[in-house]
Amino acid sequence: MAEVKWIKILVDIFDDEKILLIESLPAADTIIVIWFKLLCLAGKQNNGGVFVMNDVIPYTDEMLATILRRDETVVRLALETFKKFKMIEVIDNVITIPNWHKHQQLDKLESIRKQTKERVSRYREKQKKLIGENKEKECNANCNVTVTRCNAYRYR
């Protein structure tokens, strides 16, 4: 799938009770940064919030620690916290974000793509029409119609 360049984050995210509870933890800021990095990674992968590399290899805690550039112990703490608050699920050793649609509305993305495609199509048709009109004007400007008509009468 193509890379998606955005994720949706509501402005009241820090009023969410899960985030408020995370903020009471000792490593709160780091855990929240890890959450945002996970959301961004999921957006890059564009795989419905399922963390697998090359559509085959499930990400491990160690792999995520490397990718997120965080200490493995802190990543494990963050993942356990996210599991506890049901922000992630682990199914058959694969980490997933169960409510990914909250952060990525792909139906809206498809709608935007469709609108863009239609807009570009209309623009291209308009350009083709303008090019055709310009060619006709150029032809009329370069053609000596009266001489041609005169020659046409002369050779009858």
Q: What is the pLDDT of residues 84-97, one digit of tens each?
A: 999 999 999 999 99
- Output 140 or 155, whichever has higher pLDDT: 140
100 Cβ contact partners less than 8 Å away, ≥ 6 residues apart: 42, 48, 49
CATH architecture designation of domain 13-102: Orthogonal Bundle (1.10)
In degrees rounded to 5, what are phi and psi of residue 34? Answer: -60, -40
Instruction: Give the Å distances, CA to CA, from 107 to 75, 88, 102, 104, 112.
Output: 31, 22, 12, 9, 9
Distance of CA 70 to the CA centre of its chain: 25
- Determine the Cα–Cα distance for residues 71 and 100; give it in Å rounded to an integer: 25
Q: At 24, is the pLDDT very low, low, confident or very high (cuts 50, 70, 90)? A: very high
Q: At 152, is the pLDDT very low, low, confident or very high (cuts 50, 70, 90)? A: low
Q: What is the pLDDT of residues 32-68, one digit of tens each?
A: 999 999 999 998 888 889 999 988 899 999 999 999 9
Q: Name the residue ranges covered by the structural domains of the chain.
A: 13-102, 106-154
